Amino acid sequence: MPKVAAPVRRNMLERTDDGDGLASGSTHTILTAADLRYDYGQVDQASREGVIAAALDIRIHAARAKDSMIKIGLKLSSVKGLLPHGQFGDWCATEFEMSQKTAERMMRAAEVFGSKIDTVSILSDSAMYLLSGPAVAEATREEIVIEAQATGKSPTKARVQAVIKAQTLPAARTLTLDETIAVIWRLLKHGCAGEQRPEKLKNILATRTKPENYRHVCTGDVTLDAAVFDRAWHTVEAELDGRMAHNARLATQKAPAPTTISLTFALLGDEAERKAQYDWFKGLEQTTLGVYMQALYQTNGELV
């Protein structure tokens, strides 16, 4: 069934004889059936007019409540500066059974939306409180207000929280080439269980070829750029290939032949004496002292 129109109502914030409305000269918004969102064609004809009238009146009183909340916030702000330090919370609790936290939320809402009655009328209380937070950027508030005006209704609390979070979180920093290389080595170190052979490390590297394989070893709010990661990955691969080639060269090199000290000298004296000298010297050749003694002689057999 088509949506049934209702008669045009009075300005929902205008003072009237029967009390329906809120005194305010700051707006001239007219509340009509077009402002209602429910499909009243679903209500039987006999009850339809009464339901529509009740909906309009409830909307009027809801707007009155928001306006009153803003005015309360403004009054609280003016009184806080008049009370001795530390007594504002006690005054709120004693006089109104209101916590200081609630009072501060009303004061922030009044500060942000006090001159924007039209905006207040379209936002829910929770959206208004969230958007009046001290850390919320003005651009965030504008985005939510524009969205509310476009849809004709207040965004949900979850939606407002999501927009605030998205616009207040700092952008993740992209790691440089050197930082990305360090991240790759960090993962290899944790994955090798103390093994340092380049062959083992390269086997691990071959199974970690995507940036997402390394996000868990990144620290802080950072991100890996795909192109930078590709360069870093191949840099580490080349380093491991170089280590493997170096180890292979060392394995194929022959050990150098041992060096010996050879010393010839002229033996002196007769044959028996020369033979005694020769036997004595040959007996020392295999000892440290013998090598040392050889070094003391010149080729003519004399001490240096």
Residue 216: inside a domain: yes
Q: Which amino acid is at 171?
A: A
How is residue 164 written in tokens? 């605030």
Residues whose CB is less than 8 angstroms from the CB of residue 194 and which lie 6 or more positions away in sequence, other chains included = none
Predicted pLDDT at 286: 53
Query: CB-side exposure of 37: number of CA atoms within 13 Å?
Result: 6
Instruction: Answer whether residue 163 is part of any domain.
Output: no
Query: Can you give the pTM of this predicted structure?
Result: 0.43
**Does 280 map to a domain?**
yes
- Residue range of the domain that includes 194: 173-252
Are residues 265 and 227 part of one domain? no
* pLDDT of amino acid 17: 37
Q: Which of 252, 272, 289 is the last residue of a domain?
A: 252
pLDDT of the chain along its 304 residues, tens only? Answer: 444 444 443 333 333 334 333 333 344 456 677 777 788 888 888 888 888 888 888 877 777 777 788 889 999 999 988 988 889 999 999 999 999 888 998 898 888 888 776 667 788 888 888 888 888 888 888 888 888 888 878 889 999 999 888 876 566 788 899 989 998 988 888 777 666 788 888 888 888 888 888 878 787 778 888 899 999 999 999 999 998 888 888 888 765 555 444 444 444 555 666 666 666 666 555 555 555 455 554 444 444 3
Domain membership of residue 298 (yes or no) is yes
Structural domains counted in the chain: 3
- Cα 254 to Cα 267: distance, rounded to the nearest angstrom: 39
Hey, what amino acid is at 2? P
Q: How far is residue 207's CA from residue 188's CA, in Å, rounded to a whole number?
A: 11
Is residue 75 within 8 Å of 27, Cβ to Cβ? Answer: no
Return the residue matching tokens 């750029």. Answer: 225
**Looking at the domain assignment, is residue 287 inside a domain?**
yes
pLDDT (0 to 100) of residue 76: 93
E strand segments, the chain: 173-174, 222-223
Residue finishing a domain among 252, 276, 291: 252
